[in-house]
Structure 1
Amino acid sequence: MATTERRPILLDFEKPLAELEARIHQIRELAEENDVDVSDQIRQLEARALQLRQEIFSSLSPAQRLQVARHPRRPSTLDYIQAISDEWMELHGDRGGTDDPALVGGVARFAGRPVVILGHQKGRDTKDNVARNFGQAAPGGYRKAMRLMEHADRFGMPILTFINTPGAWAGLDAERFGQGEAIAYNLREMFRLDVPIICTVIGEGGSGGALGIGVGDRLLMFEHSVYYVASPEACASILWRDASKAPQAAEALKITAWDLKSLGILDQLLPEPIGGAHSSPLEAAATLKQALLQHLEDLSQMTNQQRRELRYQKFRNIGVFLEATA
């Protein structure tokens, strides 16, 4: 069967880098055709390309980080599950008649230990995104997640959640079937679970859609992930009635991992490969696995009561601040 090479998906700020890499490729081809040795020049240009990539990705604005977080080829929940788990069995259904493909979960073996893993799942292309509802979970998805978490609690299995959604599904049927109740129920019930819970934002963490599986003992975020109460586009439309001011809103909302780290909300910021997690998914997965192992080890040393109390205090402390006066 013939295979076709996937064309790279370029973000606006990556175009200068892409032009330089295309030039390197062109020079290499011409040199091979004419049997000319240009290895020194190629090495210099490749070094420049690496330097340019580092410069670009080390100084991204919040709006640009949002673009990286939404990259179509950014690793998804199922990608990370396959990369970090030894065994994986997906479980379906909320036992209420639905099985939401936008939120997946199941039982896995992680470093030899049984765990329950669940998370939002976006698609790779338009057809897949439509099938997955663009990672926007319905009420049944959150009820399925809670069923799996109760299963984990019953059998003493730690819970790992991967957050990647622009928000919960906001359709009429979502409201009809109790979207707000489903998310609120999860928020309440996750506080009482005895087992360790580690939540990781792997892409977008949008509003209540993210919080529905986001109450845990530890919150991790990849370097170019974002977490927000409302998308910058929605915020700009509400405040200024002008969606073009989304970059300004992104700056004001403090949505980046660096912002959340400085605010004391984030427990660990996970570095990404230069160029974003999509540029080297296996490297990103190795970073995630190492962090999860460390936090799981720390949490396993605590009693159930200690974990519940720390979890409660963690969220009670969010939003507490002091005002400095002259």
Structure 2
Amino acid sequence: MRYVRPDTTTVIETEELPDDNSDAAKSIFFNPAKKLSIVSEDTSKLNLGGQEIVEMSEEVLIDSSWVKVAGYYSIWDTRSVNPYRVDGRSYRDSLKLKLIDPPRQRFASMPLVKTPITSGFAFRGYRWHYGMDLDLNTGDSVKSVFDGVVRINAWDGGGYGNYILVRHYNGLETIYGHMSKALVPVGTFVKAGQLIGYGGNTGRSTGSHLHFEVRYQGNPINPALVYDFPDYKLRKDNFTITSELFNYYSRALQNRSRSSNSRSSSSRPSKARQTVTYKVRSGDTLSEIAERHGVGLSTLKRLNPGVKTLQPGRRVRIK
């Protein structure tokens, strides 16, 4: 299989995806049966990085031997929050995710001991707020909400601050932002309820809180649809992915357009002009500059009020 590395023309050779009867093709975790022919990413997103298509596998220990019980192919990227580039509005079918799986000892947790909401999943200012802000004190424990593997542990000074992204076995990914310290390195398996960092006020933040996101194939989902925060629990043990979950994309674009138009109209230019400047050289005088460029000395003085001495390298306006 071949795909194009993001933002370049480099063609990368990888292994062929498995046939339809293989374990990898049968996996439901990340739509592995859909062949990934071209991978691209939005260059406006933070922390862009290289990507690779990797084989993920699940193994169990039987009589001192590790036996592979399931496999699937997916994109693995340790720097980009959304390397998948799948528009959730394009989903044609619904997909039921099993959030917890007791027979496999996979359960759920809440990210904090208390979860008071300070800001919800909605349009805020001039952009969409893709997560839920939960109040905390700096140093409070932040925990993984499901079993999974840490895909990103990074710093984003203009946004998340210290943050961790965990890819979960149930198909979701969660982000934990603005932490004072992120504890778990990339590639580490974490259990639900395991400590992954400490709350803080890093990045684009005006006070100590946890910015918490839930995503499916890079598409943000309102966390309040998954969690009942006041009652500190999952709403249901299962969650269904449908295109309707992502209808907010259209509203976000409309609001952004209205906000942009409002800002642009308030600062719309009323006049335009073109100016020409000259860089002063050693020994130049105003009269010489005026004569050289066909400009009257009085005009040159009017265009450059207050100029009495000419410093080499200084620019004077001649038109």
Which TM-score band applies after superposition, normalised by the shorter structure?
under 0.3
Counting helix residues as a fraction of each chain, which structure ranks higher?
1
Counting strand residues as a fraction of each chain, which structure ranks higher?
2
TM-score by length of 2: 0.25
Larger-gyration structure (1/2): 2
